[in-house]
Amino acid sequence: MDVQSVVSTTRHVPNALKIAIDERDGGTCKVRGCDHSLGLERHHTQLFAEHHLTTYEILGDLCDEHHDLVTYRGYEIIDHGDSTWGLRPPRGHTNAA
Ligand SMILES: [Zn+2]
């Protein structure tokens, strides 16, 4: 099975996807330079409410701190294209993560 083509239309992440993502991301936070491995939360990069898709490409693990920045503080995920992410602060903030 080609796991990258696994698509779920629910929030549930199929086991095969979980394993593939853990392998890709090495079990640490996806933000470049962040090596937190405890309390990771699986994050959907695109609003699930809009797309209703759970796929390999839009999922990644974020540590507590970075997950909160994205979820509650309006930070935007930038995909570096090398399987790491950056965070862009919302307008008006200057301290990049
Ligand atoms: Zn982090």
Burial 8-47 (b: 16+ CB within 10 A, else e): eeeeebeeebeebbeebbeeebbbeebeeeeebebbbbee
The pLDDT value recorded for residue 33 is 94
Using the predicted structure, report yes or no on whether residue 70 has a pLDDT greater than 60: yes
Q: 1 C-alpha vs ligand 1 centroid, how far in Å?
A: 31
In-domain check, residue 72: yes
Tell me whether residue 46 is in a domain: yes
- Look up the pTM and report it: 0.69
* Residue 93 falls inside a structural domain: no
For residue 75, report the distance from its CA to the centre of ligand 1, in Å.
Answer: 13
pLDDT digits (tens, 9 = 90+) for 35-67: 999 888 888 776 555 666 677 777 889 999 999
> How much distance in Å is there from the Cα of 66 to the middle of ligand 1?
5
In a domain, 82, yes or no: yes
Q: How far is the CA of 9 from the centre of ligand 1 (A)?
A: 27
Confidence at residue 26, expressed as pLDDT on a 0 to 100 scale: 83
Residue 97 placed within a domain: no
Residue 41 lies inside a defined structural domain of this protein: yes
- Position 17 confidence tier, pLDDT thresholds 50, 70, 90: confident
70 is in which domain, residue-wise?
3-88
Span from the CA of 48 to the centroid of ligand 1 (angstroms): 21
Q: How many structural domains compose the chain?
A: 1
Q: Mean pLDDT, the chain, as a whole number?
A: 82
74 is a domain residue: yes
